[in-house]
Structure 1
Amino acid sequence: MHTTLRRGAALMFASLALAAAAAPPEQTATAVLDRLQAGDAQAAEALFTPELAQAAPAATLQALWQSFGEPRGRGAARVTAHQGMQVVVQPLQFATGTVDAQVAVDAAGRVAGLIFRPAATPATPAPDVPAGAGYREQPLEIPTTRGSLPGTLAMPAGTGPFRAVVLVHGSGPQDRDETIGANRPFLDVARGLAAQGIAVLRYDKRTHARPQDFSGTDYTVDDETTDDAVAAIAALAATAGIDPRHLYVMGHSQGGMLAPRIASHSGKVAGVVLWSAPARSLLTLLPEQNRYLLGLDGQISADEQAFLDKLDAQIAAARGTTPTAATDLPLGQPARYWQSFEAIDPVADARALAQPILLLQGGRDFQVVDTDWQLWRRGLARQRAVTFRDYPALNHLGIAGEGPGSPKEYTRPGHVAAPLIDDVARWIGAQP
């Protein structure tokens, strides 16, 4: 689901309003990172707000830092304003790859949020389409009532009409390539399918392109994902050279979970592809993912257990009826968002579809695991137009590897496996 380094997934922004003289935010961020690099997480924690110190105990923070390997240097920091705070993004080079540290500094100069993510390097453009590739790429804006979203259409050579796919992202603020660390799975899929005669639309997710649309607490998963995917399908259907009878949705992770819902809301979809799709709620997956990652070193410390206990309490609050501030709920998301998520049953949504379904699952996926895969298989066992494909060596991003899956993989460059892309192309081409 979430594509942050999961050990740090819950080190999210805490909203405070403190007015006092403070050091420049870059200086505060540097002080925190210097102390972590020196192995003194207790000193780093001394710069935190009480809320963050409780959510991110020193032992957990130090273990996370050490998991990145030997430090190799830092890139230039950049500072942006977000909800009354200054957010410093500092690229960190480690032996295992590059990680972005996002340090949120409040008005009093205290660290109110800390996230480590595989470096997305959004400023680096996608490589040019190779000469003689058999397809071209062109910009395609997706108009919506809340502002347009920028996208890219990979179009096969020729006049068409072509069968076409809309790619729908996993959770978090994703760009059109679904850049995760050193990897761009949506770029791989779009170009791989376009080379086989299938047009592919990928676009920047609203949380990436227009984060200002989520400044309040009155938004749902449809506001975040579903409605924009429906708009993308409509924009694709209206594009010259596209066969409107053969429009498909390929959702990855959370996008796969929502793909049946998107198809139902659109009414223009000929079939859906569910790639590494959860069959269960994110609130069920979050504690599983965190327990797995905190236990990769063979033990869970008392501080780590306290963090897990707090996460369990936040999840219980999200599922309860007592009004609770977003800062006291998982990932800092408001209650209405979680309520909308909990109301969705992805297996039932898929079962209700008349359209054909293709499900794809990697055997080394630690984010969406075999439990979900078996739920899909059992839940759709009686559906006639359902195809299952599993790939033992692939991780959550569809990239091959060995051994237990871990976030370190996301920092190493790789590509979505060709057999997965080929299976999607054959399945789409086989639809009557």
Structure 2
Amino acid sequence: MGKRKRTKVEKTSRTVLAGCLMAGLLLPGAAWAETGAAAETQTAPAASAPASEGGSSAVGSLPALVPLREASEQLGAVVIYKSSDRSVSIQWAGRLIRLSHEGITVEAEGQQTAALSAKPTVGSEGRLYLPLDAFRQAFGIQADWSDKDGIEPGANETAARAALFMRQLASGKVQDAGALLDSQLAAVLPPDKLAALPQQIVSAFGPPARLDRVSVEDNGVHVNAKLSYTSKLKAPFAIEIRFNHDGEIDDLYIPSTPEAGYAAPDYDDPSAYAEEQVTVGEGTFALPGTLTIPASGEPSAVAVLVHGSGPEDRDESIGAAKTFRDLAVGLAKEGIATIRYEKRTREHTMQSATPDLTVNEETIDDALLAAEKVRSDPRFAGKPVVVIGHSQGAMLVPRLLNQDKDKAVDAAVLMAGPAEPLEDLMLTQYENAVDRAVAAGQPDEVVSQLKQQAEAWKMTLGVIKNEAYTADDYPANLRIPNARWWFDFRNYNGPEIARTQSVPLFILQGANDVQVDASNLDGWKSALAGRADVQYELYPKLNHLFVPSDQPSTGAEYFVPGNVPLQVSEDIASWIGKLPKK
């Protein structure tokens, strides 16, 4: 029988998966006595028997067989042998596969999904085997097996390929793992950096012990596999592995904190709007986004939502809050369309983490691309295009307007926008954290650590503020992460730039904001006192995420479910409705 031609992805897969064995560092599988199961199954020849066509192991005249533990652990599964009843349990990505003398059952998310008629076989060397078709059914994937290359998930088996990549890293198979990367990511993550990734994960979260769940989503730019683990410290850990549409890994993202149970607001009426998946920009840094349009199909305006600092997603998910999602559905209720998108440092985390990253590349370029996208959409012809920036996104609005050469933006809303340079605000935040810790009676070691952080930032601040230094020339003994970004941003003062601009502004502030306190609103008012086209609003209980909190904000309440009040969207819509007609 002639062999079919392999695709480019399959050829790459066969090359890079060679030699993946059971060695466990990051995801250790429990040792289990395979020989103990021999009494329950018939004996078969060892794994060194001749391979069948396609490279799969064959034992005697039986169909292609897979060494169960080895193949399972290559996918990051935990294999447990229970001596009391001589059964085997395999835990993988929300699946529980049980093998006993009664047969094979498969549960997914706690519900039995299959009972397989296949019987496991024990080789003469004591290894437990399963027919390849049964292995595929048990794991719910299409995959091949060969003694040379190990487990080979199909080109479209994103979940299994992602799990295999993690296992390769954990097992020290850096060359094999690196061969799964596309050329752009491989340039950013050479072997030494890739090899360091498992230890960085262990240092931050503890050794991951079990792969609990894998979810896969195609967002139009990447096919994302999100792998959720439980560590040996019982701490959750997740990683998003981003594949391009050729099946190569294009980027990685590790959330620093888990999401904490967001609940949609009571004013969220799905019948009041429609959502479209869109792409902002093109090429290497294209961004997936969501366009939310009122159900009427005739919005009165369209808003571009611009993120705060950090690698934010399109919803601005922080803890249990999703500030931008709440705004999108709230504004849709008021007849205003919105476009929101993944931030570049979120969707292209590793590839954007270069020494040359600037504020423009992180925020402004993509915001202007989004504004131009909706401006050119015939459905919004003649409608105002309004930028709504939050936190860092708000303070950068004046710079964005200066760079809006095509005049795509008609008005802007600033939410919790700092009125002072960001580097100065950070020192204020560090010092306030010390004061709060002292007032709360925190242990001396906690207060001491916070003081050290404040002093360290003072030293960094002295370098950033020194006009004699640049990103290419500053003291070598003081390393500044993202130095070019900081020197690009230094002494930036949004209110001073906005003083001479003429685009109408609506500046909102929460009075219970621990990150950007209400004094910043006064800073904007003072600088813009000479402008008649600026409106201000202070909300008594709202924190930095524009979620109400009855207690003074500390940031801890971010992990308590809450929503942006509809009043905020109503106020924005009312202000937009009063803008001069085009």
In the superposition, the TM-score normalised over structure 1's length comes to: 0.71
Q: How does 1:102-141 map to 2 (within 5 A)?
A: 117-120=256-259, 133-141=271-279
> Deviation per CA, 1:209-256, whole angstroms, max 9, x where unpaired?
112332321121011000110001011112231135410000000000
State the alpha-carbon separation in 1 of the partners of residues 299 and 416 from structure 2: 29
Q: How does 1:348-363 map to 2 (within 5 A)?
A: 348-363=496-511
1:278 is aligned to 418
Q: Report the CA distance shift for 1:131/1:213 in structure 2 as closer, same or farther (over 3 A).
A: same
Q: Report the CA distance shift for 1:145/1:191 in structure 2 as closer, same or farther (over 3 A).
A: same
State the alpha-carbon separation in 2 of the partners of residues 294 and 244 from structure 1: 51
State the alpha-carbon separation in 1 of the partners of residues 410 and 339 from structure 2: 15
State the alpha-carbon separation in 2 of the partners of residues 329 and 198 from structure 1: 45
1:291 Cα offset (Å): 2.1
1:121 Cα offset (Å): 7.0
State the alpha-carbon separation in 2 of the partners of residues 304 and 157 from structure 1: 50
- Is the CA contact 2:276–2:290 (under 8 Å) kept in the aligned structure 1? yes
SS at match of 1:241: helix
User: Which one of the candidate residues 337, 354, 359 is aligned to 1:221?
Assistant: 359
1:193 Cα offset (Å): 0.2
State the alpha-carbon separation in 2 of the partners of residues 303 and 397 from structure 1: 26
User: Which one of the candidate residues 318, 321, 333 is aligned to 2:482?
Assistant: 333
- Is the CA contact 1:160–1:243 (under 8 Å) kept in the aligned structure 2? no
User: Which one of the candidate residues 453, 460, 468 is aligned to 1:314?
Assistant: 460
- Is the CA contact 1:248–1:269 (under 8 Å) kept in the aligned structure 2? yes
Q: Report the CA distance shift for 1:137/1:181 in structure 2 as closer, same or farther (over 3 A).
A: same
User: Which one of the candidate residues 498, 519, 535 is aligned to 1:387?
Assistant: 535
1:240 is aligned to 378
Q: Choose 303-312 or 147-156, whichever is displaced more.
A: 303-312
State the alpha-carbon separation in 2 of the partners of residues 327 and 243 from structure 1: 54
Structure 2 residue runs of 5 or longer lacking an equivalent are 1-23, 29-92, 95-162, 170-177, 179-187, 206-227, 240-253
1:342 Cα offset (Å): 1.4
Structure of larger gyration radius:
2
- Is the CA contact 2:423–2:461 (under 8 Å) kept in the aligned structure 1? yes
SS at match of 2:271: coil
Could you tell me the percent identity over the aligned residues? 31
Q: Which amino acid aligns with 1:301?
A: V
CA RMSD for the aligned pairs? 3.4
Q: Which amino acid aligns with 2:326?
A: D
In the superposition, the TM-score normalised over structure 2's length comes to: 0.54
State the alpha-carbon separation in 2 of the partners of residues 399 and 352 from structure 1: 32
- Is the CA contact 1:259–1:272 (under 8 Å) kept in the aligned structure 2? yes
- Is the CA contact 2:419–2:521 (under 8 Å) kept in the aligned structure 1? yes
State the alpha-carbon separation in 1 of the partners of residues 435 and 255 from structure 2: 18
Q: Report the CA distance shift for 1:25/1:402 in structure 2 as closer, same or farther (over 3 A).
A: same
- Is the CA contact 2:278–2:290 (under 8 Å) kept in the aligned structure 1? yes
Q: Choose 80-89 or 419-428, whichever is displaced more.
A: 80-89
- Is the CA contact 2:513–2:544 (under 8 Å) kept in the aligned structure 1? yes
Q: Which amino acid aligns with 2:315?
A: D
State the alpha-carbon separation in 1 of the partners of residues 510 and 326 from structure 2: 16
> Deviation per CA, 1:291-345, whole angstroms, max 9, x where unpaired?
2223323267334322321121122122333434899455x222x2111111532
2:305 is aligned to 167
SS at match of 1:376: helix
Q: Report the CA distance shift for 1:205/1:191 in structure 2 as closer, same or farther (over 3 A).
A: same
Q: Report the CA distance shift for 1:159/1:326 in structure 2 as closer, same or farther (over 3 A).
A: farther
Structure 1 residue runs of 5 or longer lacking an equivalent are 1-22, 28-74, 103-114
1:161 Cα offset (Å): 5.6
SS at match of 2:395: helix
Q: Report the CA distance shift for 1:101/1:280 in structure 2 as closer, same or farther (over 3 A).
A: farther
Q: Report the CA distance shift for 1:259/1:404 in structure 2 as closer, same or farther (over 3 A).
A: same
Is residue 431 of structure 1 aligned with residue 567 of structure 2? no
1:99 Cα offset (Å): 8.0
State the alpha-carbon separation in 2 of the partners of residues 382 and 420 from structure 1: 26
Q: How does 1:378-417 map to 2 (within 5 A)?
A: 378-417=526-565
How many equivalent pairs are there?
Answer: 344
State the alpha-carbon separation in 2 of the partners of residues 260 and 403 from structure 1: 33
Q: Report the CA distance shift for 1:292/1:352 in structure 2 as closer, same or farther (over 3 A).
A: same
